[in-house]
């Protein structure tokens, strides 16, 4: 079996997932893992697929043909997993919304060579005041040489600057 990762984006409409799943299935592919979401009238997703080598070209042709239905698909062979990561942690952040929060947090993570495995963000009205609150949840993979304590120290310093509440804890 060959593996590929596809990204899909299109104006939201009923049947999008079925069209992609049909292409995969008609080429004996196996839908292994996905993250799909509707946002601001658009539908976007990423899917990890296993497909027999003999079906590879046919699947790629079918997926590319979805563009005639307004579905843009990008295809990449699955890369290897980083081997120097030792610990997975969960980060949660809440604070008044303002531009630059993700940029500032991701800059610190990049400086520490932390891999962002998953990131989910949203802005919701605060209870009582109705002010916009920024919420972020992330799963992070730390390099072997970085301790949870060191990561926490760096992020807490930034959290004070940004005036947000931030927690980091080991997964599991």
Specify the domain boundaries for CATH 3.30.70.260 within the chain.
2-77, 85-170
pLDDT at residue 82 tops 70? no
pLDDT at residue 65 tops 90? yes
How many H helices and E strands in the chain?
Answer: 4, 8
Collapse the DSSP code of 98 into the 3-class scheme (helix H, G, I; strand E, B; otherwise coil) and give the result: coil
pLDDT at residue 84 tops 80? no
pTM, 2 dp: 0.77
85-170 folds as Alpha-Beta Plaits (3.30.70)
What percentage of the chain has pLDDT greater than the value 90?
A: 82
d(Cα 13, Cα 38) in Å, to the nearest integer?
Answer: 10
The CATH code of domain 2-77 reads 3.30.70.260
d(Cα 78, Cα 51) in Å, to the nearest integer?
Answer: 12
Residue among 57, 75, 99 at smallest CA distance from 20: 75
pLDDT reported for residue 45: 95
Averaged pLDDT, 27-51: 95
Local confidence band at 154 (pLDDT 50, 70, 90 cut-offs): very high
Residue among 40, 45, 48 at smallest CA distance from 16: 45
């Amino acid at each position: 079996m060959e593996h590929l990762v596809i990204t899909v984006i299109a104006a939201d409409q009923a049947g999008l997932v079925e069209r992609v799943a049909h292409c995969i299935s008609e080429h004996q592919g196996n839908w292994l893992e996905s993250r799909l979401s509707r946002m601001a009238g658009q539908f976007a997703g990423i899917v990890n697929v296993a497909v027999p080598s003999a079906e590879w070209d046919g699947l790629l042709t079918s997926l590319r043909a979805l563009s005639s239905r307004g579905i843009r698909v990008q295809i990449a062979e699955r890369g290897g997993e980083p081997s120097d990561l030792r610990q997975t942690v969960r980060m949660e952040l809440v604070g008044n919304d303002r531009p630059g929060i993700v940029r500032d947090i991701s800059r610190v993570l990049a400086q520490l060579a932390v891999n962002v495995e998953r990131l989910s963000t949203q802005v919701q009205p605060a209870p009582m005041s109705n002010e916009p609150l920024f919420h972020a949840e992330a799963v992070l993979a730390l390099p072997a040489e970085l301790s949870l304590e060191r990561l926490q120290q760096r992020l807490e310093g930034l959290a004070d600057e940004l005036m947000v509440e931030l927690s980091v804890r080991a997964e599991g």
